[in-house]
Structure 1
Amino acid sequence: MLVNDRGKFSALLLGITFAVFLMVMMTSLFAGILARSASTVTNVGASVWIMDPAVQTVANSIPMPDYLLDAVRSIDGVDYAVPLYSGGALVKLHDGTYQAVTVMGLDDTSLVGRPKLEKGNIQDIYAENAFIVVDDAEYGKLGKPDIGQDFELNDNRGLVVGVAKVNAFSLFGVPTLYTTYSRAIEYIPNTRFTISYILLEPKSPNAIPSIKKEVARLGYLALTKGEFDDRIADFYKYQTGIGTNIMLMTIISFIVGLSISAQTFYTFVLENLDKFGALKAIGAKGYELTYMILFQVTFTSLTGYGLGIGLCTTMIGLAKARLPDYAALVTMTNLALALGMVVLIAAVSSYISIRKVLRVEPFDIFRG
């Protein structure tokens, strides 16, 4: 009955499809923002990060004193601890334009946190004025420099000695440069404290709790990679408008899908009430009619869910092909959330219709 009523079936399918599309699109955009907000943590890959307790995102580091590094290295259970510099600078390109960049200063001895090179040799980072550029979505803003190309950074010459690939792209649209720690603090004006983070590797996972306590006793905070990711995510969820706006858009999408599907399916049941009454008259049981309605709603909802997911992934794929900065990311959590909402839409729609069908009496149908 439902499929043959093409108008009602199309309206119901369209409403669920676009509701799923909007819900998945919004939640995927939020997931992409959260993933990119912690891109530095992902790319560096250190097991434990030590920072000032006031730090909320990896991009807003608070400099720490040099003596802290020695104190951390002396803690029992620490395999090694190295400094990491993270700061912003302006680069002057060959055409005279300026471009903001993020400069990552790696420990001169170990180069812990270094990216994987697609061009060049990592040992060249020790050469004079040497920098490594990251080939990501922001690479073009530097003119896509190759090995041997130079630039100017705070009246200092910089020379590209390598091109690197990273696992996660930056959120803020700023290219990233890697160099040694000593060169970073030499080229970029700083306060008297220059260590942005201390990267720590414990001798064993069991040593992490005691290390955290010792670092806390020194007045600083030690977080594992996962805990730092969660801290950054919580900042964007609860202390910015991003989380609230995405949540509101998702709720609105759900309400739109629920209202369209419930109204359309209820109208379909009302228009076919005589058919359901006739089925009752020839001996159809209440549970059989209930099963019929549930099957119709489930079939339509899952079809709309599949079409909505397909439409969303297609749009995200096209957007990323044209806009490398586009941050949307479809995850299993997003898909499960959308499926749960579709099931709820189907449940509400079928409940309203089932109540109407179970109350109809064949006598009333034939009398009319």
Structure 2
Amino acid sequence: MRFKKLFKLALNILLNSKLRSWLTIIGIVIGVAAIVAIVSLGQGATLNVQERLGGLGADLITITPGVEKAFGGFKGLGSGAMLAASSNPSISLKSKNLTDKDLQTVKSIEGISYVNGVVSGRVEVFYLAETSSISIQGVDAYAWKYLVNTELEAGRYLNPGDTNVIVVGSGVAKSTFKQPLALNRPVTIDGRLFKVVGILKESGGIGGEDNRIFIQIDQARYILGSAGQKTFDSISAKVSDPDSIDQIVSEIESRLLISRHVTSRNKDFTIISSKSTQEVIDSVLDTINIFLGAIAFVSLLVGAVGIANTMFTSVLEKTKEIGIMKAIGAKNYDIMMIFLLNSALVGFVGGILGIGLGYVISEMLPNLLNRLGPSVSVRTLIPTSLLVETLFLAIIIGVIAGAIPAYRASKLKPVDALRYE
């Protein structure tokens, strides 16, 4: 038989059992819609994180003391670091701060263009009769302007020699106080007046620049009660060639192990590059996406069971017709192809409708989830490849589910089939 004729017969079977066919198709629709919605949510989360990681800069390296502090700035990594430390007692969770000697060690490494020692903490900031606890970061004004990845929205960066001036992140300027902070407006920190000389653009990055105040490091030490100390909470470095960042990280680690008199087993510092952070987060997101996709795939398998059940019923109903077709010359291959095409059609129709439903759900999810609070930022992303692959998967599932019933139908003997009531 020609393919066109086989396809018509398969379509007739689908159309002549409308209720049963549509109930089967609904199972596929739910499975496909779940895959599209869940995977698009995972893809959107991946894109969100990648954009936020972009704020770290591909050429930046951060050194922090101990393990806990090293991962404290990255939600989701802290617990992993703590677990690693707890499994190895030789790793220090809270170690001595980085020193000026460490800073000079990093500066001496070839391939590093700028190095910034940082002290940080939280302080009470007064502005127009309001008080807010804000993260403050003391920086080396010369190096910081080359290390910061966020452009200025207004004003200027800190300059060497500045006193009683600050640069604020977008969040601090726009949403911390009822009245937005503006250039040249005074704020009070630790009883002293500081003038806002710069406002950064919104970064949205994991680095957290949006909600920080930046100040000269010596003044930050005074405010935080560590005046005269030459220690740092972290050291940031910018490499001249991002492609060599792995080699430079290894060199920094080797030099610091020697200068701090520790070994790789009990080292009291952690080095983070944007590349390593990206790899860790990508791995976590991939695992989550696979897990969510597997859950959605289970619902598609339930739909496959429905297809198999429908095909078995169709074979029983069409037993006499199969006998007639075989009696007038239809081959086993023809019979099997009719039922395989029928199950493929069920998968195709269910796939198309499921993609449509999944697309609608994906469009609605961000609006629904973002209403949970201002800290929730959800988006979805539906690549064209996802739609094509999901449709193809639905068809394949349909064919596989219909394979056994189709094979049994093809093996029916004409005499037995014609005698069937």
TM-score clears 0.5: yes
Tell me which of 189, 193, 200 is aligned to 2:238: 200
How far is the alpha carbon of 1:297 from its aligned partner?
1.0
Alignment correspondent of 1:19 = 34
How far is the alpha carbon of 1:312 from its aligned partner?
1.1
**Cα deviations by residue, 1:80-107 (Å, 9 ceiling, x for unpaired):** 32334454444455454534x3334443
* Alpha carbons 1:3, 1:9 under 8 Å: kept: no
Alignment correspondent of 1:356 = 405
Residue 226 (1) aligns with residue 226 (2): no
Looking at structure 1, the residues matched to 287 and 248 of structure 2 have their Cα atoms a distance apart, in angstroms, of 37
Percent identity reads: 14
How far is the alpha carbon of 1:118 from its aligned partner?
2.5
Alignment correspondent of 1:51 = 63
Looking at structure 2, the residues matched to 250 and 17 of structure 1 have their Cα atoms a distance apart, in angstroms, of 11
Letter in 1 for 2:354: G
Residue 212 (1) aligns with residue 250 (2): yes
Structure-2 change in CA distance of 1:81 and 1:170 (3 Å): closer
Looking at structure 2, the residues matched to 247 and 95 of structure 1 have their Cα atoms a distance apart, in angstroms, of 51
Tell me which of 346, 350, 354 is aligned to 1:300: 350
Letter in 1 for 2:232: T
Residue 145 (1) aligns with residue 194 (2): no
* Alpha carbons 1:24, 1:338 under 8 Å: kept: no
SS at match of 1:326: coil
How far is the alpha carbon of 1:152 from its aligned partner?
4.2
Looking at structure 1, the residues matched to 174 and 110 of structure 2 have their Cα atoms a distance apart, in angstroms, of 42
Looking at structure 2, the residues matched to 262 and 301 of structure 1 have their Cα atoms a distance apart, in angstroms, of 12
* Alpha carbons 1:87, 1:102 under 8 Å: kept: yes
Tell me which of 71, 93, 109 is aligned to 2:105: 71
State the TM-score, normalizing by the size of structure 2: 0.66
SS at match of 1:262: helix
Larger Rg: 2
Looking at structure 2, the residues matched to 188 and 258 of structure 1 have their Cα atoms a distance apart, in angstroms, of 60
Alignment correspondent of 1:98 = 132
Looking at structure 2, the residues matched to 297 and 319 of structure 1 have their Cα atoms a distance apart, in angstroms, of 31
Q: How many residues align?
A: 354
Looking at structure 2, the residues matched to 10 and 295 of structure 1 have their Cα atoms a distance apart, in angstroms, of 9
* Alpha carbons 1:72, 1:81 under 8 Å: kept: yes
Alignment correspondent of 1:31 = 46
Give runs of aligned pairs for residues 1-368 of structure 1, distance below 5 A. Answer: 1=11, 2=14, 5=18, 7-8=22-23, 11-20=26-35, 23-24=38-39, 27-28=42-43, 31=46, 34-35=49-50, 39=52, 42-45=54-57, 47-52=59-64, 54=67, 55-59=70-74, 63-92=97-126, 94=128, 96=130, 98-99=132-133, 101-110=134-143, 111=145, 112-122=147-157, 126=162, 128-135=164-171, 139-143=174-178, 145-148=180-183, 149-169=185-205, 176-182=211-217, 183-189=219-225, 193-202=231-240, 205-206=243-244, 209=247, 212-219=250-257, 221-231=270-280, 237=284, 250-259=293-302, 261-273=303-315, 274-275=317-318, 278=321, 281-282=324-325, 283=330, 284-316=334-366, 319-320=369-370, 324-330=374-380, 347-360=396-409, 361=412, 363=414, 366=418, 367-368=420-421
Letter in 1 for 2:113: D
Looking at structure 2, the residues matched to 74 and 106 of structure 1 have their Cα atoms a distance apart, in angstroms, of 19
Over aligned residue pairs, what C-alpha RMSD do you find?
4.4
State the TM-score, normalizing by the size of structure 1: 0.73
Looking at structure 2, the residues matched to 338 and 85 of structure 1 have their Cα atoms a distance apart, in angstroms, of 49
**Cα deviations by residue, 1:274-329 (Å, 9 ceiling, x for unpaired):** 35874685333424542442243134225413431342133225655885532334
SS at match of 2:311: helix
**Cα deviations by residue, 1:34-87 (Å, 9 ceiling, x for unpaired):** 558xx4x53242613141462235357974212211111112333332334454
* Alpha carbons 2:187, 2:195 under 8 Å: kept: yes
* Alpha carbons 1:86, 1:103 under 8 Å: kept: yes
SS at match of 2:55: helix
